[in-house]
């Protein structure tokens, strides 16, 4: 309550909500309703909009991290009757781990193991009633490049810690505005080959980029100079 000041007819915050968000993001994570989420706040709004727009059949997440986003996705999946699974080699937050285990959506796995890759490939290929959304946040562009070949037309792939230009002013500006402290790991050059091979067209690129994500939809039409 140190940031609150009381006046005769109202209560005011000493810090703006933007200032609070920057402070919360300073360790490369954001706390959302008590959940540790490795995202900037805008990412949660963008992902919510994407789910509303796409109405997926399955959601696959690589890189559970602290697990806050995974919990939100598991709640969405439960409410909408969507299959959700998240893969990681471990979660440190025991409360989050307990929830995900209770929801039967967490898989402890090393994502570069051939048997794990085969399991995920099979899961993607079995989806025929609606789109699959894949969040690539572990091996990132490696996952994007490999699994995009097995996705069908209309499936969605996202890559985290992304800005189109590596080390450019746009990423520096995002860091300044959001307080995000994790480094940029991905740029469009990492994704270009898979995008052109599979006709993956950026979806709401500027909006997702400002939330440190790339989001693309597969079209199966080979294209060059997509972005």
State pLDDT tens for residues 5-29.
444 555 555 556 566 666 666 555 6
Mean pLDDT on 92-103: 80
Residues listed for the chain = 227
pLDDT grade, residue 31 (50/70/90)?
confident
pLDDT of residue 220: 80
Q: What does the mean pLDDT of the chain come to?
A: 87
Q: Phi-psi category of 161—alpha, beta or left, where left has phi over 0 and alpha has psi -120 to 50? A: left
Q: Is residue 125 part of a domain?
A: yes
pLDDT of residue 226: 66
Six-digit token pair at 128? 């025929």
Q: Which domain holds residue 143?
A: 4-218
Has residue 178 got a pLDDT over 50? yes
Distances (CA, A) of 83 to 73, 98, 99, 181, 183: 10, 18, 16, 32, 31
Q: Is residue 227 part of a domain?
A: no
Q: Is residue 195 part of a domain?
A: yes
How far apart CA 6 and CA 31 sit, in angstroms, is 25
pLDDT of residue 7: 44
Q: Is residue 113 part of a domain?
A: yes
In sequence order, what DSSP letters do the residues of the chain get, joined into one string? Answer: -TTEEE-SS-EEESS-HHHHHHHHTTTS-EEETTEEESS-HHHHHHHHHHHHHH--SEEEEE--TTSHHHHHHHHHHHHHT-EEEEEES--S-HHHHHHHHHTT-EEE--TTSHHHHHHHHHHHHT--SS-EEEEE-SSTHHHHHHHTTTPPTT-EEEEESB-SSTT-HHHHHHHHHH---SPP-B-HHHHHHHHHHHTEEESSHHHHHTTTEEEEEE-S---S---
Please give the tally of structural domains in the chain.
1
State pLDDT tens for residues 103-156.
789 989 899 999 999 999 999 999 988 999 999 999 999 999 999 999 999 999
Q: Is residue 115 part of a domain?
A: yes
Distances (CA, A) of 81 to 56, 62, 73, 78, 92: 10, 20, 12, 5, 28
Closest C-alpha among 179, 224, 172 to residue 201:
224
Mean pLDDT on 194-202: 95
Q: Is residue 225 part of a domain?
A: no
Q: Is residue 169 part of a domain?
A: yes
Closest C-alpha among 70, 45, 68, 49 to residue 156:
49
State pLDDT tens for residues 41-58.
899 999 999 999 999 999
CATH no. for residue 24?
3.40.50.150
pLDDT > 70: percent of the chain: 85
- At how many degrees (to 10) do helices 169-178 and 17-24 cross? 110
pLDDT of residue 6: 43
């Amino acid at each position: 309550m140190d940031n609150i000041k009381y006046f005769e007819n109202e209560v005011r915050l000493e810090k703006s909500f933007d200032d609070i968000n920057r402070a919360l993001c300073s360790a490369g994570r954001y706390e959302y309703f008590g959940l540790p989420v490795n995202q900037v706040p805008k990412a949660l709004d963008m992902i919510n909009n994407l789910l509303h727009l796409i109405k997926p059949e399955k959601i696959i997440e690589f890189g559970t991290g602290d697990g806050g986003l995974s919990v939100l996705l598991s709640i969405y999946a439960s409410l909408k009757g969507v299959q959700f699974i998240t893969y990681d080699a471990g979660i440190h937050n025991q409360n989050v781990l307990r929830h995900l285990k209770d929801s039967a959506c967490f898989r402890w796995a090393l994502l570069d193991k051939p048997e794990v890759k085969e399991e995920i490939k099979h899961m993607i290929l079995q989806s025929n009633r609606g789109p699959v959304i894949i969040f690539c946040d572990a091996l990132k562009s490696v996952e994007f490049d490999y699994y995009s070949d097995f996705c069908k037309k209309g499936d969605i792939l996202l890559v985290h810690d992304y800005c189109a230009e590596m080390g450019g002013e746009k990423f520096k500006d995002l860091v300044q505005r959001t307080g995000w402290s994790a480094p940029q790991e991905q740029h469009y050059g990492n994704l270009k080959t898979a995008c052109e091979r599979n006709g993956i067209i950026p979806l709401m690129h500027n909006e997702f980029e400002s939330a440190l994500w790339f989001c693309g939809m597969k079209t199966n039409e080979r294209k060059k100079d997509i972005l």
